[in-house]
Amino acid sequence: MNRSQKVTLFSAVLLLFLLPFTLKLSACAKPPGIADSTGQGFAVLELFTSEGCSSCPPAEQLLETLQGESTGKPVYILAYHVDYWDRLGWKDPFSSAAFSLRQYDYSRYFTGQVYTPQMVLNGQTEGVGSNESLIRHTVVKLLDQAGTATLAIEATPKAGEATVRYQAATGNKSRLEIAIVEKHAISKVTRGENEGRTLSHVQIVRSLQSFSIGKNGAGAEKIALPKDFNTTDWEIIGLLRNPGTGAILAANRATFIL
């Protein structure tokens, strides 16, 4: 056997030796699939974002991907456009001071961290909104956890408002939060860090209201609706949230009763 043949044989043996390890590493690196989860839990993804932030589009793109993968799963996506970027060159048309305050409220539980894009999951943990590996692993973990509370919710929209009826089962002093959500929108940004870009948004929170839970966990609330609200392009999401810890104990999407 000449030297060239020896080198070729050695390379082939080395490849056969390393192949199982390479395959194992590839399997480990593959992000978990949300659609594959069979757990009994739920996941609420709250993204704090802004059209004025150049780091935010990748996080919103990830939201859109996760939304497509989680069809039929108890995964609830909420994108809050904060207003503290508005003074830096571009006013986000979806921004609200109320959403900035919600982020600051969460910061009490997360060592004071406030930034964009920030993702809060079930009100219990946070991370960079574009960190796909972290978010995927956390969502799958949350879906595999059994819930401790339940929420059923339905809504009847009529003449610019909706009557929202709910039934909640929870063992502590949680509050009901109702989010009015626009499923998709496109913006053309002409100033600021994203100048010249066309941005795609999903699950844009347009309003968020908080209510005390009624007697025996049941009740009904009337909420105002945006003038262009319709039951195809919008949805209503309810959350049971512990105001003392920030944790979200249950969530559900309202069934529309027309």
Domain annotation for the chain: domains and CATH numbers: 34-256 (3.40.30.10)
pLDDT tens digit string along 141-186? 999 998 889 999 999 999 999 999 999 998 778 999 999 999 999 9
Distance CA 253, CA 76 (A): 8
Distance CA 124, CA 107 (A): 11
Query: For the whole model, what pTM was predicted?
Result: 0.87
pLDDT tens digit string along 188-230? 999 999 999 999 999 999 999 999 998 899 999 999 999 999 9
Residue 61: per-residue pLDDT: 98
Is pLDDT at 258 greater than 50 in this prediction?
A: yes
Cβ atoms of residues 240 and 250 within 8 Å: yes
Which of these, 176, 183, 170, 136, lies nearest to 29 by C-alpha position? 136
Cβ atoms of residues 95 and 50 within 8 Å: yes
Residue 26: per-residue pLDDT: 42
- Mean pLDDT of the region 123-132: 97
Paired tokens of 20 = 């199982």
Distance CA 170, CA 216 (A): 10
Residue 204: per-residue pLDDT: 99
Residue 13: per-residue pLDDT: 42
